[in-house]
Structure 1
């Protein structure tokens, strides 16, 4: 199915920016929002240089301003007529071990990655239910499959919650024209993890975003990307001994 008009949150950098580039190349119209409007302005110019035949609209949005999420999504809907796919991508990776003085950072990650994601899903499904059509995509993480330590403790918990939320929404709209997908990226080098020196199977943002867009277009319930090695690794991670998980994080 063609999903012509696509909304992406957190589009000013990282995976959001990379997905926007890939979708622009294939001729999709784009509704892009993020906190950093200057980055969106530059991205819009870059995308139109890649493909001058597409429609691109940009708006500033802090997803933690929940009422504004609804406002911006509905404004995009009015501008495009329909929104065919909404990608809940905005997220944070701040934090540290619980009880070591990082509560504010951990709280910010929890609020952005789950509560704000819920607001985005609510706004998206409001639009899709009215249209009786649409494709909701949430960007979770391979870390959703287990608990991890240090900076990943709260991050992994939020992504696990997002995966569960997405499944619940999928069950709720089962047998309707609304499709729901959860994408679990492996380790992809972006601004969020630029300080991480080493991680298993780390790939660059361009390769990672190509894999993510390919998975999104398949509209499967759950995807682990890139498929090699994560289609197998996520199964192994689920049963790996806790001490091995500790060494990985």
Structure 2
């Protein structure tokens, strides 16, 4: 394999699951996130099971454009060709109607989900141009396909990811870089806990009675998308739990 994948937001959730699944597929892993301790724990977990895996970890807040550029410029020589970029870093904060939404929540979502994706993509794409099998995976959401009550700004940011994915597909066509969007429905990770600012009881209620998707479910789909032959590009995938029909219509047992 020997393909090098860079995963943002790799310390938890879908990003962490991608690291675990792709390590088993033989990828070299460049992992970044804000939580250094969790990155190191993930690295140790992978190396315990797969000691030959090549892993490079670094702390990064994708909202900081200068830090993103500096981190990519400072990559060791052995990590300066990136074959796969997984733009996973993203979050939701708050679930308030637009007239009473918190500006700090809006800024965090816009800065992470849109601007962070742009900063990382702009810095990493030049490192992908020498790859013969380059692929960008953008993690979107069902919220990028529809709008649900009180989802306003989060939905707007994921609609932006959907649009940027389409734009990247066009702009990078002549470079031979494949671009795919993965849009999950309910995935039981830290997502709701972050959305509700640490309110674990409220977060648990989101998934009550639902066999939700796991980070591993999404990571396995991403591994499939990445494994297609070079002439195949899966542009867009919407993945839902069987119990979920739309963003808000869910069959709870």
Q: Structures share a fold, TM > 0.5?
A: yes
Separation in 2 of the partners of 1:61 and 1:72?
Answer: 8
The residue correspondences of 1:119-158 to structure 2 (distance < 5 A) are 119-129=119-129, 134-150=134-150, 152-158=151-157
Separation in 2 of the partners of 1:215 and 1:133?
Answer: 13
The residue correspondences of 1:1-249 to structure 2 (distance < 5 A) are 4-76=3-75, 78-95=77-94, 96-129=96-129, 134-150=134-150, 152-194=151-193, 195-198=203-206, 202-218=212-228, 219-225=233-239
Paired residues of 2:212 and 2:241 also in contact (CA < 8 A): no
Separation in 2 of the partners of 1:212 and 1:23?
Answer: 9
Identify which range, 79-88 or 156-165, moves more after superposition.
79-88
**Structural RMSD (CA):** 2.5
Post-superposition offset of 1:132? 7.0
- Where structure 2 has 5 or more consecutive residues not aligned to the other structure, the ranges are 194-202
Q: Deviations over 1:149-196 (max 9, x none)?
A: 22x221111011011011111111224321111111121100112405
Match of 2:198 in 1: none
Separation in 2 of the partners of 1:178 and 1:25?
Answer: 24
Post-superposition offset of 1:76? 3.3
Paired residues of 1:24 and 1:30 also in contact (CA < 8 A): yes
Separation in 2 of the partners of 1:125 and 1:109?
Answer: 23
- Partner SS, residue 94 of structure 1: coil
Larger helix proportion, structure 1 or 2? 1
Structure 2 length normalisation: TM-score?
0.83
How many residue pairs get aligned? The number is: 234
Separation in 2 of the partners of 1:73 and 1:225?
Answer: 31
- Partner SS, residue 7 of structure 2: strand
Post-superposition offset of 1:3? 6.5
Post-superposition offset of 1:207? 2.9
Structure 1 length normalisation: TM-score?
0.84
Separation in 2 of the partners of 1:84 and 1:16?
Answer: 17
Match of 2:197 in 1: none
* Structure 1 residues 176 and 192, CA gap change in structure 2 (3 angstroms): same
**Where do 4+ consecutive residues of structure 1 move more than 4 Å?**
130-133, 226-230, 245-248
Paired residues of 1:31 and 1:56 also in contact (CA < 8 A): yes
